[in-house]
């Protein structure tokens, strides 16, 4: 895979030509523009940078030569459209979701580990994290709907594509989350069943012993309290499972909403040339419609005008005739 | 190295180093080049949110986007670029060219870049359309030019040659090799292209092509389509070739709009061996086996959809939602292949292609002139056989029995002309003039020397598995000769004084005038069998019989009008 970098040669020619241009008097206005731009340039660049180059550290005083950056400042006076903020926010959210997810998986494995102490705090952590992630997903999805296409054709295309890419990200995340969660759920259920079996066995053998010891006493206080505890424990587990199921359902809803936006891979929609064709044909179509509308509008106005004039003429004629007849 | 992955790597490298929101600007050729190897969703992953064509850019300023241009270094493209650099719309410009830039072109660009928006200028040699791992095309529109002598249309002929040279040299740059070059002696155009490539690789840009020397240089063989005019005239019965023959594949896409009553999302479908596992497994299967495999796929799908129907518990639901994207993809794929096969079997039925193809294969593979004449006459009398199929039958007969039975050939010509006025103009004679027995180098019918005659007899005795796919393109023989080191220097001379030492392990065969999917299949089969030599096949276009006949007609028209003057 050979490549050849022609940038140095290009730079050489460009610099040579710039020197020619600077010495020639005709380029005077050009120099003026760049010097006036240098005042506002860096500030605008800074704003730009904070919005766009989030993953690239920005140095206000870059090592590039100053005339270059000031020139670029003059060019990039147009700030990015407002929807960029939304997309930035969503991608920040996905980042947060990602980090939360890894925390959650750790918590899952801890919660499932048999421990001597009360595993409750782990389980609590799992609950909280799950809730947080689901909320984040929901919020991001809501914001995504706001990115719906509007404005000029080109811009709306960009927006649509941004929306698609974010939707794909979100879908992937929610899929991953659901998979892990159902795995967790399964393990939890299994543990519950195992636990019950174990308890039954223990109960059985011990109660026999107890029967041997205290022939006709029946349930001891100790036993009753144990039983209650166990019941509470099972109820707790039940609640957890319900919660997880609920969040699975939530995720399913999100999935359904997102799947409208996500591109099916391997289909014609996923072809680059198909998308270009579509865009150009829809732009053409729009242009035609506009022309047609203009034509009909103009035609309508003209026809209206003419009819009014003709009617007026007629009325005037009648008046004139009446006038000559009557007077 | 396979051509698809090389092209993919180029595109990937273009996009990966530039952070932030990007717009990709392509020209009409690079759109196909990028589209066959990269998908829209992959572009989105690389933060490319807009794709535009160089010549239809709007004026709207979008300074928050960085522009990546990937265009061919043609003079029109440079002019477009010059205008766009003078009034920049985007924040940054990264220029990638698919081939070698001239110094003057760089100067022109530098001159127009007054605001210094261009960040880099690079040459990335992805100047070919990688259809399959071992098959590429250059998508040349005016493909008929190769049949005309240079003096008839010197300008178009130069453009044609330049495109071929560009495409082939880019492929070798991408593979990082410098080949030894051979060409088919009897073809002027093959010789010309071979010499121009040699000049480029060993003189003008010898520094660029000076790669680490390997033991054995790869081989570039340039042959002429007219050496094997039979293959593009035959009906095809393996999946990919058949779809191309009956429905036309363009850049791995099939347009089904003319078919009627297809759902809206299936009006255009993608047939790519890279993205579609079922297609990859079946693209070289014959029609019968394909039918069986499709039935199996439909059965599997029914199983899945049945299990999706009875959702009772929450768990079922969760499972369904998990598998839903997979399910949808499968659904689209199943209906795509079923639509294609249904449509093709309708055409086969309608045009009686089973009957026609049997005679075609007899004509192409076995002797027996009397029986062949009878069969062709019978089909010419049959009203339900389409005119195009008749023309092809007569052409195949003419190519085979040109010298043996001129009288009967005349009878067939007359019959054809009386059947359809369109074919009075002597297109079959034009074909014979272009690709007759006197012009051909290779032993197309395997009847020139005793050895191949004997081999043919042996095959005849053994019997064939499938009557419809018994034909083997001439290319198979050529490949065999290359792997065995038997390709004759007299017929396929070397260019310059760079000769082959030992057997080459990589061979690129370029067919001037276009490749067929039947040949691509032969190449893929050969590579899969792992004989130690790997072949890559390419040409200016991918032919089916329609395209071949159209090129022939076009060339005939021009030849006639130029001789008239």
Query: Which ranges in B57-137 belong to alpha helices (H)?
Result: 75-86, 103-112
Q: Do A280 and B56 touch (CB under 8 A)?
A: yes
A152 contact residues in B (CB cutoff 8 A): 60
If DSSP codes are grouped into helix, strand and coil, which group holds residue B272?
coil
Tell whether B40 is within 8 A of chain A (Cβ).
yes
- Chain B partners of A155 at a C-beta cutoff of 8 Å? 60, 62
Of B50, B120, B124, the CB nearest to A7: B120
Residue of B nearest to A22 (CA): B114
Q: Which residue of B has its CA nearest to A65?
A: B116
Owning domain of residue A163: 82-150+157-203+222-265
Q: Are residues A186 and A294 in the same domain?
A: no
Is A7 in CB contact (< 8 Å) with chain B? yes
In CATH, B3-126 is 3.40.1010.10: no
In a domain, A26, yes or no: no
Contact between B173 and A2 using a beta-carbon 8 Å cutoff: yes
Pick B121's closest partner by Cβ from A7, A68, A175. A7
Give residues 103 to 162 of B whose Cβ lies within 8 Å of A.
Answer: 103, 106-107, 109-111, 113-125
Q: A275 and A138, same structural domain?
A: no
Question: Which of A75, A158, A179 minimises the CB distance to B50?
Answer: A158
Q: Would you tell me the crossing angle of helices B369-381 and B406-419 to the nearest 10 degrees?
A: 10
Q: What is the DSSP letter of B405?
A: -
Phi, psi of B268 (to 5 degrees): -135, 130
CATH node for B249-351? 3.90.830
**Contact residues, A window 271-310, toward B, CB-based 8 Å cutoff:** 271-276, 280, 283
A193 and A165 both lie in a single domain: yes
Closest chain A residue to B89 measured between Cα atoms? A75
Write the burial class of residue B517 (CB in 10 Å: 0-12 exposed, 13-18 middle, 19+ buried).
buried
A32 belongs to a structural domain? no
The SS3 call for residue B515 is strand
Same-domain pairing of A270 and A189: no
Residue A25 lies in a domain: no
Between B64, B275, B329, which is nearest A80 by CB?
A: B64
pLDDT in tens, A263-310: 777 778 888 888 887 776 777 788 888 888 888 777 777 888 899 999
Q: Which residues of chain B have pLDDT under 50?
A: none
Output the CA angle B77-B160-B226, nearest 5 degrees.
155
Q: Is B10 on the interface with A (CB under 8 A)?
A: yes
Whole-number Å distance between alpha carbons of B174 and A44 = 42
What residues pair up with B118 in beta bridges, in sequence order?
B93
Domains B3-126 and B249-351 equal at CATH topology level? no
- Ranges of each domain in chain B: 3-126, 131-228+473-557, 249-351, 353-429
What is the predicted pLDDT for the residue at A52? 44
Q: Which residue of A has its CA nearest to B170?
A: A2
E strand map for B483-525? 506-512
Q: Is B255 on the interface with A (CB under 8 A)?
A: no
Identify all chain A residues contacting B131, using CB atoms and an 8 Å cutoff: none
CA pair distance B541, B136, nearest whole angstrom: 9
| Chain A hits for B103, Cβ within 8 Å | 9
Residue A235 lies in a domain: yes
Max CA pair span of chain A: 139
Q: Do A261 and A279 belong together in one domain?
A: no
Is any Cβ of chain A less than 8 angstroms from the Cβ of B548? no
Q: Which of A245, A249, A271 sits opposite B40 (nearest CB)?
A: A271
Residues A131 and A237 in one domain: yes
Tokens of B162: 């330049």
Q: Give me the pLDDT at residue B195, please.
A: 93
- What are the tens digits of pLDDT across the range B27-86? 989 999 999 999 888 888 888 888 888 887 677 778 888 999 999 999 999 999 998 888
**A-B contacts at Cβ under 8 angstroms:** 211
Q: Tokens for B173?
A: 């740059």
Token pair for B564? 């008239």
Q: Could you give the number of structural domains in chain A?
A: 2
According to the model, what pLDDT value does residue A287 have? 82
Q: Write out the two tokens for B224.
A: 């002429």
Strand partners, B223: B511
For chain A, which ranges sit under pLDDT 70? Answer: 23-79, 114-120, 148-154, 192, 194-220, 247-248, 251, 255-257, 260, 280
| Residues whose CB falls within 8 Å of the CB of residue B422, separated by 6 or more in sequence, listed in order | B387
Give how far A180 is from chain B: nearest CA, Å.
Answer: 11
Class of domain B131-228+473-557: alpha beta
Nearest chain A residue to B278 by CA: give it: A266
Q: What is the pLDDT at residue A67?
A: 43
Does A20 lie at the interface with B, CB-CB under 8 angstroms? no
Cβ of residue A24 closer than 8 Å to a chain B Cβ? no
Written in H, E and C, the secondary structure of A40-83 is: HHHHHHHHHHHHHCCCCCCCCCCCCCHHHHHHHHHHCCCCCCCH
List B70's β-bridge partners, or say none.
Answer: B26, B96
The pLDDT value recorded for residue B545 is 92
- Chain B touched by A71 (CB under 8 Å): yes
- Do A129 and A274 lie in one domain? The reply is no
Asked if A248 and A276 sit in the same domain, the reply is no
pLDDT at B315: 67
Q: Do A158 and B49 touch (CB under 8 A)?
A: yes
Beta-sheet pairing, B129-132 with B249-250: unpaired
**Is A138 among the domain residues?**
yes
CA distance A2 to chain B (A): 5
Q: What is the CB neighbour count within 10 angstroms for residue B478?
A: 24
Rounded Cα distance between B29 and B27, Å, is 5
CA distance B324 to A255: 10
At residue B435, the pLDDT reads 83
> Strand, helix or coil at A105?
helix
Cα B262 to Cα B339: distance, rounded to the nearest angstrom: 8
Residue A196's CB is within 10 A of a number of other CB atoms, namely: 13
**Which residues of chain A have a CB within 8 Å of the CB of B60?**
152, 154-155
Q: Are residues A142 and A283 in the same domain?
A: no
Q: Which of A14, A162, A249 sits opposite B110 (nearest CB)?
A: A14
Query: Could you tell me if A292 and A163 lie in one domain?
Result: no
Residues A199, A287, single domain; the answer is: no
H or E element in which residue A272 lies = helix A272-326
pTM of the model: 0.80
Domain membership flag for residue A321? no
Q: Considering the domain boundaries, does residue A183 fall inside one?
A: yes
Q: Are residues A163 and A291 in the same domain?
A: no
């Amino acid at each position: 895979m050979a490549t050849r970098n022609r940038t140095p040669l290009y730079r050489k020619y460009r610099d040579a030509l710039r020197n020619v241009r600077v010495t020639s008097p005709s380029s005077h206005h050009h120099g003026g523009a760049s010097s006036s731009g240098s005042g506002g340039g860096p500030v605008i660049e800074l704003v730009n940078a904070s919005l766009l180059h989030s993953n690239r550290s920005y140095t206000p005083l870059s090592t590039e030569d100053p005339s270059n950056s000031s020139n670029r400042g003059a060019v990039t006076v147009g700030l990015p459209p407002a929807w960029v903020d939304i997309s930035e926010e969503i991608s920040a959210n996905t980042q947060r979701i990602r980090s939360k997810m890894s925390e959650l998986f750790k918590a899952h494995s801890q919660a499932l580990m048999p421990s001597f102490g009360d595993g409750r705090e782990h389980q609590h952590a799992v609950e909280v994290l799950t809730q947080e992630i689901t909320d984040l997903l929901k919020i991001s999805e809501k914001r995504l709907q706001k990115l719906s296409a509007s404005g000029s054709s080109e811009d709306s295309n960009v927006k649509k594509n941004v929306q698609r890419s974010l939707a794909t990200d979100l879908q992937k995340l929610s899929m991953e989350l659901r998979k892990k969660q159902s795995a967790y759920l399964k393990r939890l259920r299994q543990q519950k069943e195992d636990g019950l079996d174990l308890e039954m066995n223990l109960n059985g053998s011990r109660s026999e012993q107890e029967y041997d010891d205290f022939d006709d006493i029946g349930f001891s206080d100790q036993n009753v309290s144990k039983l209650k505890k166990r019941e509470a424990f099972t109820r707790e587990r039940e609640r957890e499972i319900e919660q997880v199921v609920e969040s699975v359902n939530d995720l399913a809803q999100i999935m359904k909403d997102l799947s409208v936006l996500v591109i099916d891979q391997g289909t014609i929609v996923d072809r680059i040339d198909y998308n270009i064709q579509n865009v150009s044909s829809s732009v053409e179509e729009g242009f035609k419609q506009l022309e047609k509308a203009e034509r009909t509008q103009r035609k309508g106005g003209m026809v209206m005008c003419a009819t009014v004039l003709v009617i007026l003429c007629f009325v005037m004629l009648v008046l004139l005739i009446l006038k000559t007849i009557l007077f | 190295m396979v051509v698809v992955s090389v092209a993919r790597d180029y595109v990937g490298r273009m996009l990966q180093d530039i952070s932030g929101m990007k717009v990709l600007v392509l020209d009409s050729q690079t759109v196909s080049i990028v589209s066959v190897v990269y998908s829209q969703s992959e572009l989105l992953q690389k933060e490319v949110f807009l794709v535009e064509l160089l010549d239809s850019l709007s004026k709207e300023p979008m300074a928050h986007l960085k522009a990546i241009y990937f265009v061919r270094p043609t003079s029109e493209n440079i002019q477009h670029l010059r205008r766009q650099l003078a009034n920049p719309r985007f924040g940054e410009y990264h220029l990638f060219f698919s081939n070698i830039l001239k110094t003057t072109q760089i100067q022109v660009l530098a001159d127009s870049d007054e605001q210094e928006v261009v960040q880099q200028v690079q040459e990335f040699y992805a100047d070919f359309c990688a259809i399959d791992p071992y098959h590429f095309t250059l998508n040349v529109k005016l493909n008929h030019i190769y049949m005309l002598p240079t003096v008839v249309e010197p300008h178009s002929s130069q453009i044609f040659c330049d495109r071929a040279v560009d495409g082939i040299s880019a492929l070798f740059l991408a593979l990082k090799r410098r080949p030894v070059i051979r060409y088919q002696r009897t073809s002027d155009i093959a010789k010309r292209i071979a010499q121009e490539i040699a000049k480029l690789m060993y003189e003008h840009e010898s520094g660029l092509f000076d790669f680490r020397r390997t033991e054995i240089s790869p081989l570039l063989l340039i042959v002429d389509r007219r050496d094997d005019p039979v293959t593009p005239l035959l009906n095809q019965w393996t999946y990919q070739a058949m779809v191309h023959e009956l429905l036309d594949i363009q850049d791995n896409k099939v347009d089904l709009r003319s078919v009627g009553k297809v759902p809206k999302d299936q009006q255009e479908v993608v047939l790519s061996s890279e993205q579609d596992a079922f297609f990859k497994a079946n693209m070289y299967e014959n029609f019968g086996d394909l039918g069986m495999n499709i039935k199996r796929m439909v059965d599997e799908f029914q199983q899945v959809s049945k299990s999706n129907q009875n959702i009772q518990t929450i768990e079922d639901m969760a499972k369904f939602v998990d598998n839903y994207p997979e399910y949808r993809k499968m659904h689209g794929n199943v209906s795509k292949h079923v639509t294609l096969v249904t449509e093709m079997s309708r055409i086969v039925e309608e045009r009686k292609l089973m009957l026609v193809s049997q005679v075609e294969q007899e004509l192409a593979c076995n002797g027996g002139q009397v029986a062949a004449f009878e069969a062709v006459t019978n089909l010419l009398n049959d009203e339900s056989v389409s005119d195009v199929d008749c023309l092809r039958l007569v052409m195949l007969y003419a190519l085979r029995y040109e010298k043996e039975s001129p009288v009967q050939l005349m009878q067939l010509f007359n019959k054809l002309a009386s059947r359809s006025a369109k074919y009075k103009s002597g297109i079959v004679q034009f074909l014979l003039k272009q690709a007759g027995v006197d012009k051909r180098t290779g032993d197309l019918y395997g009847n020139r020397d005793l050895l191949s005659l004997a081999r043919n007899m042996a095959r005849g005795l053994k019997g064939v598995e499938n009557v419809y796919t018994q034909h083997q393109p001439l290319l198979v023989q050529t490949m065999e000769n290359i792997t065995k080191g038997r390709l004759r220097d007299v017929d396929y001379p070397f260019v310059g004084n760079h000769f082959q030492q030992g057997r080459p392990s990589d061979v690129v065969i370029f067919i001037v005038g276009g490749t067929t999917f039947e040949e691509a299949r032969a190449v893929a089969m050969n590579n899969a069998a792992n004989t130690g030599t790997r072949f890559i096949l390419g040409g200016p276009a991918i032919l089916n019989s329609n395209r071949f006949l159209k090129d022939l007609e076009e060339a005939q028209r021009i030849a006639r009008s130029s001789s008239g003057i």
